[in-house]
Amino acid sequence: MPAILAGKDIMGQAKTGTGKTAAFSLPLLHGLEKDVPFQALILAPTRELAVQITHEIEELGKFTPIRPVCLFGGQAIKTQVGKLSRPDSNQIIVGTPGRVIDMLDRRMIHLNNVRFIILDEVDRMLDIGFRDDIRNILERVKHEHQTVFVSATISTEIDKLARKYLRDPEKIIVASGSLTVSLVDQLYLTVNPWDKRRLLVHLLKHEEAALTLVFCRLKRVVDDLTALLNKHDIEAYSIHGDMPQSKRNSVMQRLRDGNLSVLVASDLAARGIDVDGITHVINYDLPEDPEVYVHRIGRTARAGRKGIAWALVTPEQGELLTSIELLINKEIPKKEYPDFKASDPPPGWRNPDERKEGGLQLVGGPQAPDLPPKAPPVNRIAASTNLQVPQAVAAADAAKFPGGIVPTKMPPKRIFGRVPSGRK
């Protein structure tokens, strides 16, 4: 906050749940003028996160004349234009990049008055394909302004973006050591892939999980699990990108009001759920990107509260679990569940996620069938340009190598191209 108040460009990194939104919102509420529209632009990767930021600014600025307006896809343009036309509620624009560009192109908003641009969860925006949209928006602001990048993780790509669009930024890293909040009790459970659905039901019926988020990779799995849990008398709701916006808003409101106990979500919602009281996060599907794991479990243990994060890990996902531990700089202990019995694979079972060799060894149950290791893919061009050269030997054969000199590397220039056909 002091650096933002001092007018500096910022590249900030902090753990999830540590108050990043308040850190950039309070300086805006302090520094903006009440009668000037569109003075600040806040970009977020998802609709849910944009709405959440808007709600938090409204709460923080309740007794100020500064009000935000939220722009995101899925809501009628007419509705959002009505909000923009109110002079008492348009000093701050909060939105997703796609809808902000749409409104700029329609000339419903402009960036002439923008003094602050804030990119929240910038790493996630890059991950889900907003790279060109971000550049499009930043290129439109030609006058002097202050830019803030905020994220839980900072990649080389974010550094590259910052070098282009930030002026002598101050890099503030609050997250030292582990990337995850220490109040999150992280555990993993080994399970055969065909037993995952049964283990999830068992967990939710036998543990005191008051408000639980279950994360899946695929939207289809989100819907299937929600139906399964309701079939077992566990009240569950789903949220993912294919749902109508009105239904997503309804589910999120139920979550904020504390009127649901289990929410099954895709990664789309991982950055937009900032709700007090989430006690458990279950990684039903372990994410391929370890950084996604950090953001998933960051939905619990917020604002000083404790939380629990469980991960269901199949025998093939041992390397993936290790990569997560390396990223968060912490060993995740194993949770034993003796009253859950592993079952035999169903007839004709074929694991669709079985892509990696090695992994965890399942204890106390049948093992997944061993498959022959797949040969690594070979790039013929790369193979031809990286030929192995024998090491020099002590006694070289002068008859084979002129002067007894044995080559130790390939020549500096080689020709790789089309064979001339003789035609001109």
Please give the domain boundaries of the chain with CATH numbers for all domains: 2-173 (3.40.50.300), 184-328 (3.40.50.300)
Distance between CA 33 and CA 65 in Å, rounded?
9
| Model confidence at 110: pLDDT above 50 | yes
Give the mean pLDDT of the chain: 80
Q: Among the ranges 42-46, 84-88, 286-290, 327-331, which has the highest mean pLDDT value? A: 42-46
Distance CA 59, CA 422 (A): 77
Element (H, E) at 361: none
The answer to whether 26 touches 165, Cβ cutoff 8 Å, is no
Beta bridge partners of 92: 40, 68
**Chain segment 303-333, per-residue pLDDT in tens:** 667 889 999 999 888 889 999 888 888 889 9
Distance CA 403, CA 391 (A): 17
User: Which residue reads 């190598």 in tokens?
Assistant: 401
For residue 311, the SS3 value is strand
- Least confident range of 125-129, 192-196, 283-287: 125-129
Give the mean model confidence (pLDDT) for residues 137-146: 94
Average pLDDT over residues 115-140: 89
**Better-predicted residue by pLDDT, 420 or 277:** 277
* Position 254, amino acid: R
Between 173-182, 227-236, 345-354, the lowest mean confidence (pLDDT) is in 173-182
Question: Is 70 exceeded by the pLDDT of residue 175?
Answer: no
